[in-house]
Amino acid sequence: MNYVEIVIEVARDHAEALSDALMEAGALSVSVEDADEGTDAEKPLFGEPGMEPEEAAWDHSRVVALTGEDADQAAIVAEAAAAISLAEVPKFTLRGVEEQDWVRLTQSQFEPIHIGKNIWVVPSWHEAPDADALILELDPGLAFGTGSHPTTRLCMEWLEAHPAPGKTVLDYGCGSGILAMVARKLGAGTVAGVDIDPQAIESARDNAQRNQVGEIAYFLPDAFAASAHATARFDTVVANILSSPLKLMAPMLSGRVADGGSLILSGVLARQAEEVAAAYAPFIKLGVWAELDGWVALHGVLGSDTVPPAR
């Protein structure tokens, strides 16, 4: 089956309502884009977790609705316009979308990722390039963390460079569970992961089972606070989140580090490193361990007056 996209350029005030109305009128899916993309007027639209933009729209928005080839696109647009009481039916263009093997197309965009010296993150439809490496089978999904983002990569490289056989590790903001799994495969003993997203916890548990890494305890925050780990302090605490929540959690995360233990933070842009380190200064002295593509990983040792050397 082939498909047809309806492309409508609208003002911000109508983008979200029109998108919903197009779905109700029979569109198979709808997306909103910046109509000024690629020009000097292009505007980024992003936010940190808990501070997402109220609207996924731009001052000059482009609404793209996917329909079946046999659908009456004009009728769909007219019905949607009437549903939100537009004064007139907006102008639109149509563009064809040929049928493709979407699964294969999506899979082709994800190749094995080589990280550090000896780590490979391999989608399930690929063979591992090096059977003797530390291999994580991980498919792209809803939970953050496939090794492709610089912050995840930096944390994985830190863990590889600082193996701690038998030590305890806390992965706070665990997402897919990739950092906890790396720690476990590198010989860590007790490993726990915490995330605010139930989907992430489910994904992390599935990934740990698939990779046969042994026991990793994954928790939502309330469950973690009520668990046997409620007052535990860990030899290594790693948190790959974003700068704003990291600053707010400085007392809590620092308090989870055992005496002489290490704290590793990422999700921090290079320009944010000093302010994040300053938030932790009353508890632990942090410095930049490494930088990649404008992102940094900060690390420090609890009780030490000096910052460990950078990579």
Please state, in angstroms and rounded to a whole number, the distance separating the CA atoms of residues 192 and 56.
Answer: 34
Q: Each residue's pLDDT tens digit in the chain (311 positions)?
A: 688 999 999 887 888 899 999 999 999 999 988 876 666 655 554 444 444 445 455 678 899 999 998 999 999 999 999 999 998 999 999 998 866 655 554 555 567 889 999 999 888 888 888 888 999 998 765 445 667 789 999 999 999 999 989 999 999 999 999 999 999 999 999 999 999 999 999 999 999 999 999 999 999 999 999 999 999 999 999 999 989 999 999 999 999 999 999 999 999 999 999 999 999 999 999 999 999 999 999 999 999 999 999 99
Q: Is the pTM of this model over 0.85?
A: no
Please state, in angstroms and rounded to a whole number, the distance separating the CA atoms of residues 131 and 32.
Answer: 43
Listed residue (187, 194, 123) closest to 160, CA to CA: 187
Tokens standing for residue 58: 């731009």
Please state, in angstroms and rounded to a whole number, the distance separating the CA atoms of residues 35 and 33.
Answer: 6
